[in-house]
C-alpha cells in the first residue's frame, strides 16, 4: 500500500522578503472599478438633487456640447435626430463604465492610481459645473467632490474584498515545495489537509465563499448607487417647472391671428399637418437637462444699449397687449428633406414694442437673447424692427409654452434659423453691436447671420416605397418664411417639371402644403421637388451641407411601382 506525502509546511521565518499583495482575477478588479464608478455617479446625483443643481454627468455633458465642433454636432443630429442628447448621455455612461473598469485593474496593482483617477473625475466634474450659469460655487463643487470621495471609498472596499477572496501567494520557498507536490497530485497525492494543488495558479484555489463575499459586496454597493441616484433624481424633480406652468392662465390676445383657411390642409394620408402638435414639434438645443424655471423668481431683462433698462415678470408680460402669429420654425441643422421644421400658433408680446419702450440707442446693431443656462443667440436689430411678427412668446398652440420648448418665455423671429434667433428659457435681451459679440454657435463655425432658405420636402410617397400603378398623390410641404411660397414643381425622372397644387395659407410666415397627382407607371422612378418663393427665387438644385448657414438643394425620393 502506497503512502501519500504532503507538501512540507511553510518555514517559520521568511527568507525572501515580504510576500507580494495578492491580486484578484482581472474580472474582479474590473468589477471593483465599475462598482466604484457607479457609486460615484449615484452619490453625485444624490447631492445634486439635494441642492437642485446639475449632476456631474449633466455638467460634463453640457460642456461636451459646448466644445463639440459644428460639423460633429451636425453629424450627431443627422444620425440621432432629436435623440442626440440621449445618445450623448448613454455615451458618457458607457465611457465612465469603461474607465471605471480600467481604474479597477490599475487599483489592484497600485491603489493610488485608481484613487487618483476617481479624484480626477471629480475635478473634471467641478470644472464643468463651474461653467454653468445656473450654479453657485457650492452647487458646482459639492456634487462632484462628494462623488469622488464616495467613489474612492467604494473602490477601497471593493478592492479589499476582492483581495480577501483569494489566499495570499506563498513565499517562493514554499511555492517550490508546493510545486513538488504536483507529481504527487498527478498520482493521486494531495496536499496537507486534502487541498488539491492548482497547477495553473501560483497558490491554492480560492475558496468559493471568498468569491461570494466579493459578489455580495459589489452587489450591495450597486444597490446603494442605484438608490442614491434614484433619490437624487426624485429630489431634483422638486425643481420642475410643471407646477408653475400649470398655474399660468392665458389671457385672450388683443390681436388674434388670421383664421387658418379651410383649404390649408390637403386630404393626403401621410402629409405633415398644417399645425404641428406640441408633442411632435422638433426640439434641438444645447440643454442636456431641460431648464426648470420657477416663474415666482424668473425675470426677463432688457439691457445693454438702451435708454431705460426694463425688467418683466411673466405676469407683466401676460398683462400686456398679446398677439397671435402663425410661424414656421426651422433648425439650421435640418438636412434637405429632413424633419427639423414645424409650424405652430404662438402667443406673445411684440419684440419691437418692448424695444421701443426701452429705447434703442444709436449704434445698437445686434439683439442678443440669453437663456437661463447661458446659451446665446444674436441677430441684426433691424430684423426686429422691419414689421415682421417677432415675439417674446409665452404660449404655443393655445397652451403655455411646454417646458421643453422654452417655458416661461422664448423668442420667435420669423425668417431666421433658430440658432440665431429662437432663444428658449429666455432670461435677457441685450442690445449691443454686431462686432461686439458673437453668439454661441458663431465661434463654432456657423454663420453670424442666417435667414431661412427656400425649401421644399416630399412627405409622400416615402423613399423606396412600393406603389401600385395608377393615379398616385405626391405631396409635401414648402417654406420660405417672410417671403411665402408662390410655386411648387414636381419632376418624375427626366420628364418636364409639372406644377403642384398649393394649399391655402394665412400668411407668408408658415409652410405650405402641396400635392401633385401622378399617373404612376410600372418601374423604378426618381421624384424630386423644387419651390419658388414670393420674391421669385427658385431653390437651387445643387445640394449643400447645413453648416454654415443651412442646407440647400432639391429633395428627391426613389420609388418602385408595381404592375397593376
Tell me the pairing of strands 391-396 and 341-350.
antiparallel
Which pLDDT value is given to residue 191?
A: 40
Which pLDDT value is given to residue 349?
A: 98
CATH top class, domain 262-444 = alpha beta
What is the CATH topology of the domain spanning 455-562?
Immunoglobulin-like (2.60.40)
Which pLDDT value is given to residue 194?
A: 37
Which pLDDT value is given to residue 240?
A: 75
Least-confidence region, from 249-263, 286-300, 516-530: 286-300
Q: What is the band of 22 on the pLDDT scale with cuts at 50, 70, 90?
A: low
Which pLDDT value is given to residue 557?
A: 98
Classify residue 327 by burial, with Cβ atoms within 10 Å: 0-12, 13-18, 19+. buried
Average pLDDT over residues 377-388: 97
Euclidean distance between the first and the last CA atom of the chain, given in angstroms as a whole number: 93
Average pLDDT over residues 134-158: 89
Rounded Cα distance between 129 and 61, Å, is 10
Average pLDDT over residues 212-227: 92
Tell me how crowded residue 321 is: count the other CB atoms within 10 A of its CB: 11
Cell of 47: 447631492
Rounded Cα distance between 55 and 47, Å, is 8
- The answer to whether 374 touches 132, Cβ cutoff 8 Å, is yes
Which pLDDT value is given to residue 205?
A: 45
Q: What is the band of 21 on the pLDDT scale with cuts at 50, 70, 90?
A: low
Rounded Cα distance between 139 and 150, Å, is 17
Average pLDDT over residues 259-268: 95
pLDDT reading at 202 higher than 60: no
Highest mean pLDDT among 116-120, 219-223, 348-352: 348-352
Rounded Cα distance between 261 and 504, Å, is 6
Rounded Cα distance between 73 and 90, Å, is 16
The pLDDT > 70 percentage for the chain reads 86
Give 75's contacts (C-beta < 8 A, 6+ positions apart): none
Give 373's contacts (C-beta < 8 A, 6+ positions apart): 62, 132, 133, 134, 286, 287, 291, 425
pLDDT reading at 105 higher than 90: yes
pLDDT reading at 414 higher than 90: yes
Classify residue 90 by burial, with Cβ atoms within 10 Å: 0-12, 13-18, 19+. exposed
pLDDT reading at 206 higher than 70: no
Q: What is the 3-state secondary structure (H, E, C) of 138-171?
A: HHHHHHHHHHHHHHHHHHHHHHHHHHHCCCCCCC
Which pLDDT value is given to residue 138?
A: 84
Which pLDDT value is given to residue 207?
A: 53
Average pLDDT over residues 152-161: 94
Tell me how crowded residue 23 is: count the other CB atoms within 10 A of its CB: 16
Supply the mean pLDDT for the chain.
87
The SS3 assignment for 53 reads coil
Q: What is the band of 238 on the pLDDT scale with cuts at 50, 70, 90?
A: low
Cell of 391: 415675439
Which pLDDT value is given to residue 498?
A: 98
Which pLDDT value is given to residue 80?
A: 80
Least-confidence region, from 29-33, 203-207, 298-302, 354-358: 203-207
The SS3 assignment for 306 reads strand
Which pLDDT value is given to residue 531?
A: 98
- Beta-bridge mates of residue 472: 518
Higher-pLDDT residue of 190, 478: 478
Which pLDDT value is given to residue 139?
A: 84
Q: What is the band of 193 on the pLDDT scale with cuts at 50, 70, 90?
A: very low
pLDDT reading at 172 higher than 60: no
pLDDT reading at 180 higher than 70: no
Give 479's contacts (C-beta < 8 A, 6+ positions apart): 328, 330, 341, 452, 454, 455, 456, 485, 510, 511, 512
Which pLDDT value is given to residue 469?
A: 96
Least-confidence region, from 123-127, 189-193, 348-352, 410-414: 189-193
- Beta-bridge mates of residue 330: 341
Average pLDDT over residues 489-494: 98
Least-confidence region, from 213-222, 227-236, 474-483, 544-553: 227-236
Rounded Cα distance between 65 and 85, Å, is 9
Average pLDDT over residues 208-215: 79
> 21: number of CA atoms within 13 Å, CB side?
13
Q: What is the band of 87 on the pLDDT scale with cuts at 50, 70, 90?
A: confident
Higher-pLDDT residue of 409, 69: 409
- The answer to whether 298 touches 425, Cβ cutoff 8 Å, is no
Least-confidence region, from 44-58, 94-108, 468-482: 44-58
pLDDT reading at 183 higher than 80: no
Cα angle 61, 56, 54; round to 5: 85
Distances from the Cα of 269 to the Cα of 2, 61, 263, 272, 462, angstroms: 91, 40, 16, 9, 12
Rounded Cα distance between 52 and 45, Å, is 10
Cell of 17: 522578503
Least-confidence region, from 38-52, 58-72, 149-163, 419-433: 58-72
Tell me the pairing of strands 555-562 and 466-468.
parallel
> 294: number of CA atoms within 13 Å, CB side?
8
pLDDT reading at 204 higher than 60: no
Which pLDDT value is given to residue 189?
A: 40
Domain ranges of the chain: 26-172+200-237, 262-444, 455-562
Phi, psi angle pair for 446, to nearest 5°:
-95, 155
pLDDT, tens digit (0-9, with 9 covering 90-100), for 303-332: 999 999 999 999 999 999 999 999 999 999
Amino acid at each position: 500500500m502506497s503512502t501519500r506525502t504532503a507538501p512540507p509546511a511553510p518555514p517559520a521565518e521568511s527568507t525572501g522578503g515580504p510576500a507580494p499583495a495578492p491580486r484578484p482575477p482581472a474580472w474582479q478588479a474590473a468589477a471593483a472599478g465599475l462598482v466604484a464608478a457607479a457609486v460615484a455617479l449615484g452619490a453625485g446625483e444624490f447631492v445634486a438633487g439635494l441642492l437642485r443643481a446639475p449632476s456631474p454627468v449633466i455638467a460634463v455633458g453640457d460642456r461636451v456640447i459646448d466644445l463639440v465642433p459644428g460639423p460633429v454636432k451636425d453629424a450627431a443630429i443627422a444620425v440621432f435626430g432629436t435623440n442626440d442628447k440621449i445618445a450623448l448621455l448613454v455615451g458618457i455612461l458607457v465611457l465612465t463604465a469603461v474607465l471605471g473598469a480600467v481604474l479597477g485593474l490599475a487599483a489592484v496593482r497600485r491603489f493610488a492610481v485608481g484613487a487618483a483617477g476617481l479624484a480626477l473625475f471629480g475635478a473634471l466634474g467641478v470644472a464643468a459645473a463651474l461653467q454653468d450659469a445656473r450654479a453657485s460655487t457650492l452647487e458646482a463643487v459639492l456634487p462632484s467632490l462628494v462623488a469622488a470621495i464616495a467613489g474612492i471609498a467604494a473602490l477601497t472596499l471593493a478592492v479589499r474584498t476582492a483581495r480577501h477572496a483569494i489566499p495570499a501567494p506563498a513565499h517562493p520557498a514554499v511555492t517550490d515545495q508546493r510545486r513538488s507536490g504536483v507529481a504527487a497530485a498527478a498520482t493521486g497525492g494531495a496536499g496537507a489537509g486534502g487541498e488539491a494543488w492548482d497547477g495553473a495558479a501560483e497558490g491554492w484555489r480560492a475558496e468559493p465563499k471568498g468569491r461570494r463575499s466579493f459578489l455580495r459586496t459589489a452587489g450591495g454597493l450597486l444597490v446603494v448607487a442605484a438608490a442614491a441616484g434614484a433619490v437624487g433624481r426624485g429630489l431634483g424633480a422638486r425643481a420642475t417647472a410643471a407646477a408653475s406652468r400649470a398655474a399660468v392662465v392665458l389671457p385672450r390676445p388683443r390681436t388674434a391671428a388670421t383664421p387658418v383657411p379651410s383649404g390649408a390642409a390637403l386630404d393626403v394620408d401621410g402629409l405633415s399637418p398644417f399645425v404641428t402638435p406640441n408633442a411632435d414639434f422638433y426640439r434641438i438645443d444645447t440643454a442636456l437637462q431641460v431648464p426648470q424655471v420657477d416663474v415666482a423668481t424668473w425675470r426677463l431683462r432688457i439691457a445693454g444699449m438702451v435708454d431705460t433698462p426694463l425688467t418683466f415678470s411673466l405676469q407683466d408680460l401676460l398683462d400686456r397687449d398679446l398677439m397671435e402669429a402663425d410661424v414656421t420654425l426651422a433648425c439650421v441643422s435640418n438636412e434637405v428633406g429632413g424633419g427639423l421644421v414645424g409650424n405652430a400658433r404662438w402667443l406673445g408680446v411684440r419684440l419691437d414694442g418692448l424695444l421701443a419702450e426701452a429705447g434703442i440707442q444709436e449704434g445698437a446693431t445686434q439683439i442678443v437673447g440669453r437663456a437661463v443656462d447661458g446659451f446665446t443667440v444674436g441677430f441684426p436689430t433691424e430684423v426686429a424692427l422691419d414689421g415682421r411678427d417677432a415675439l417674446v412668446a409665452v404660449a404655443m398652440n393655445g397652451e403655455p409654452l411646454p417646458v421643453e420648448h422654452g417655458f416661461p418665455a422664448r423668442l420667435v423671429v420669423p425668417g431666421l434659423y433658430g440658432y440665431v434667433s429662437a432663444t428658449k428659457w429666455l432670461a435677457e435681451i441685450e442690445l449691443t453691436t454686431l462686432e461686439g459679440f458673437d453668439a454661441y454657435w458663431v465661434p463654432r463655425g456657423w454663420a453670424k447671420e442666417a435667414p431661412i432658405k427656400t425649401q421644399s420636402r416630399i412627405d409622400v410617397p416615402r423613399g423606396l416605397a412600393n406603389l401600385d400603378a395608377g393615379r398616385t398623390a405626391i405631396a409635401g410641404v414648402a417654406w420660405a418664411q417672410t417671403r411665402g411660397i408662390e410655386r411648387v414643381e414636381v419632376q418624375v425622372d427626366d420628364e418636364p417639371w409639372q406644377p403642384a397644387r398649393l394649399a391655402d395659407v394665412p400668411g407668408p410666415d408658415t409652410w405650405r402644403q402641396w400635392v401633385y397627382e401622378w399617373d404612376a407607371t410600372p418601374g423604378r422612378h426618381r421624384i424630386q421637388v423644387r419651390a419658388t418663393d414670393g420674391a421669385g427665387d427658385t431653390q437651387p438644385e445643387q445640394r449643400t451641407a447645413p453648416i454654415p448657414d443651412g442646407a440647400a438643394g432639391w429633395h428627391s425620393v426613389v420609388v418602385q411601382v408595381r404592375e397593376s
